[in-house]
């Protein structure tokens, strides 16, 4: 299993710091787990392969392109920090 951990500052609260851990087996396209923490609370979730396919279809994006965008947003880290924004709700 592979994992990444990134520090994020959501646009919904730029002063806050959250840590986002993403874990996956083969690649993100087969599903992945998420753990989000503000160092006081933690939230977990999973995204299945069918969830990914459904989301890609909903926004009318090629599935492989959608998985690539997920990779960039969730695991690419600091090199793309300014390109993707996170909103915590």
Average pLDDT, integer, range 31-35: 96
CATH of segment(s) 2-80: 2.170.210.10
**pTM, to two decimals:** 0.84
Locate the domains of the chain by residue range. Answer: 2-80
Count of CB atoms situated within 10 Å of the CB of 3: 12
pLDDT tens digits for range 2-24? 999 999 888 888 899 999 999 99
Mean per-residue pLDDT over the chain, rounded: 90
pLDDT > 80? residue 70: yes
pLDDT of residue 16: 92
Rounded to whole angstroms, how far apart are CA atoms 82 and 89? 20
Residue 42 — φ and ψ, nearest 5°?
Answer: -135, 145
Q: What percent of the chain has pLDDT over 70?
A: 93
Q: What angle do CA 76, 81, 82 make, to 5 degrees?
A: 140
């Amino acid at each position: 299993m592979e994992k990444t951990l990134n520090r994020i500052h959501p646009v919904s609260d730029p002063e806050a710091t959250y840590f986002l851990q993403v874990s996956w087996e083969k690649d993100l396209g087969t599903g992945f787990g998420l753990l989000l923490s503000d160092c006081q609370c933690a939230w977990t979730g999973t995204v299945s392969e069918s969830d990914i396919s459904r989301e890609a279809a909903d926004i009318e994006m090629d599935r492989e392109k959608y998985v690539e965008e997920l990779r960039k947003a969730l695991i690419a880290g600091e090199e793309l920090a300014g390109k993707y924004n996170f909103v915590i709700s």
